[in-house]
A and B are shown apart, each in its own frame.
Chain A
Amino acid sequence: MSRILAWCEWALNLLGAALVAVVLVAVCAQVIMRYVFNDATMWSDPVASAAMAWLTFVAMAAAVRSDGNMYVRFTWNWLGDGGRRIAEAVSLVLAIVFATALSFSAWELMEVTKSASVEGLPIEVSWATMYSIILLSGAFVIIFTLERVFNLIRGAGQ
């Protein structure tokens, strides 16, 4: 299971790196089209913005597995091993609560926006498709956090 999740994390990071490249190409294309071909692109703004939004959700989910998201844990220095474990468990459970709420919210949002198209993109994409990354990211946050809860319980049992 751990190997499958490690592969998922790697795939998310790879997708994140590819989306950074999309952002770079979209922004540079805008400059090149304007100055070299004397033609303003319509698609580069929405593509770059959408790629960054997707990149953010993808990388945030991947960061959950490696505990890479930012936190402030100076209070943990005052706790013993047991206290620290409890604080971590509380923190993980709260992360699952938030990710679940975010996923439900995204699902509702996708239902409402499935017939609306994003303007300015070179191909027709519905807003529901754009928002689907929130649902996907929320699902990965839940899965990765559950893995960490499992590891925490296993560590406490040993």
Chain B
Amino acid sequence: MIGGLVLGSFVLLIVIGVPLVFATGLAALLGLVLLGVDSYIVLAMETYEGLKSFPLVAIPLFLLMANLMTVGGVTNALVNFANSLIGHVRGSMAIGNVTASTLFAGISGSCLADTTAVGSMMIPAMVKEGYPPAFAGAVTAAANIVGPIIPPSILMVIYGFAAEQSIIKLFLAGIIPGLLLSIVFAFLSVYLSRKYNYGSVSTRFVLARAVEAFVSALPALVIPAVIVIGVVGGVFTVTESAGAAAAYALGYAIVRELYLGRKPWRDIYDAFMRTAIDTGVIMILVGAAHVLTWVLTRSQLPQQIVALLDGFSQWQTLALINVILLILGMFLEPAPAVLMACALLLPLVKSLGVDLVHFGVILVVNLQIGVLTPPVAASAFVTARIAGITLEQQIRALLPFIFWGLVTLLFITYVPWLSLGIPSYFD
């Protein structure tokens, strides 16, 4: 009863437009009142406790790395490299967009940052090559949902913290599902480009150009490899790997800008400032959601959900969980949605015997597809703005990508090997 009221008030506050941090905090406060706690100290203490975790320190460092690499002109280099590889087939810029987004996923791990960075370059370029703006925006928005699935991933860090799972196993688990989604979107882009005769074939494959583009992109391409190999090889913890990657990005930005005769200090300061703001906006939700989780756990709501679904088979319950997560992703930003889903569904998932690393991947893929779907559709909103079209036009162009994203999600859900294959190899 208390859990239902808390959840209901949370939804109501979000619907009326209260910022998520205050909606989460107020719902938790209501829960504390209804639970009749002795002292409200728990509100401040649990918020702080939710942030005071060393693995979570990886989040500002990954954000800093991405912001510093952008100062170092990495977006341009990755897009050029992707286009140099496949610029000679129809739909090449669409595949180039998907490839650049997949490569970018390896350095950022934040969907909206990737969408903005890649989209602001690729969408105008695709439109210039004869692709409709809505299609160019749709390819960009869809391709960038892989950002938080392929390592490094901020969402995986948050999930690992909430579900007490190994973050490196989660990173490894995201590799095949992320690449699978990229391949599906690349094929779909080519199919649609050929069917509707989008774009022109203006370039041919030139090995020298591809090699030159590869060398330019190499400083960025090594980052995901360094993170994964460094952590799997026992050289770093995940947080340390994020620190090393951020320090590397800082060095790269300074050296590159000085080499080009530019002073990088202002841009570097801006990158630190932007990181602070991005971190604050994401992490305060983690803190507030920590209090809400505390309240929901004590209200026994997760146990009531387990009891409610008693008697359903594993595949039926997983299907139902997917629907719940998709709805959650349609309304909530992925970071708080991960924490909310953990608070509500982890006992149920554990009772089903589903591997929690596998569930982490299912959760993140679901929430990322939610980023494309209305009413919130944050990614679609960004690409529509860049492409200069309405949100409705963007959503319509996204429908085939959402459909095939959902089909891929079914594979990821019901074929656990896709997620667990690589992590089990490193056991």
Contact = CB atoms under 8 A, between A and B. Distances in A.
Contacts of B52: 49-50, 53
B247 A28 contact: yes
A75 B48 contact: no
Interface stretch (B13-21, B164-172, B340-348, B410-418): B13-21
B281 A60 contact: yes
Question: Interface size class for chain B?
Answer: 35 or more
B304 to A, nearest CB: 26
A115 to B, nearest CB: 15
B60 A70 contact: no
A31 B18 CA distance: 41
A72 B20 contact: yes
A24 B246 contact: yes
B125 interface: no
B43 interface: yes
B283 A56 contact: yes
A72 B276 contact: no
Interface in A49-81: 49-50, 52-53, 55-60, 62-63, 68-76
A72 to B, nearest CB: 5
Given A13-B276, A57-B284, A31 B40 contact: no
Residue among A14, A60, A102 facing the most chain B CB atoms (10 A cut-off): A60
B20 A28 contact: no
Main secondary structure of the interface of A (DSSP, over half): helix
Residue of A14, A49, A98, A99 contacting most chain B CB atoms (<10 Å): A98
B57 A109 contact: no
B39 interface: yes
A70 B61 CA distance: 20
Interface stretch (B113-121, B178-186, B211-219, B234-242): B234-242
B56 interface: yes
Interface in B272-292: 272-273, 275-277, 279-281, 283-285, 287
Interface stretch (B22-30, B85-93, B198-206): B22-30
B43 A101 contact: yes
A11 to B, nearest CB: 12
27 contacts: A16-B273, A16-B279, A19-B276, A27-B57, A28-B244, A49-B54, A50-B52, A53-B48, A55-B279, A55-B283, A56-B287, A57-B284, A59-B279, A60-B281, A70-B285, A70-B336, A72-B17, A72-B331, A72-B333, A75-B16, A87-B16, A91-B17, A98-B25, A98-B29, A105-B44, A108-B41, A109-B45
Given A52-B51, A63-B277, A99-B22, 6 more contacts: A16-B280, A23-B57, A31-B243, A55-B279, A56-B287, A70-B19
Interface of B: 13-22, 25-26, 29, 39-45, 47-48, 51-54, 56-57, 59-61, 64, 236, 239-240, 242-244, 246-247, 250, 269, 272-273, 275-277, 279-281, 283-285, 287, 331-333, 336, 374-376
Interface of A: 13-14, 16-17, 19-21, 23-24, 27-28, 30-31, 45, 48-50, 52-53, 55-60, 62-63, 68-76, 87-88, 90-91, 94-95, 97-99, 101-102, 104-106, 108-109, 112, 130-131, 134
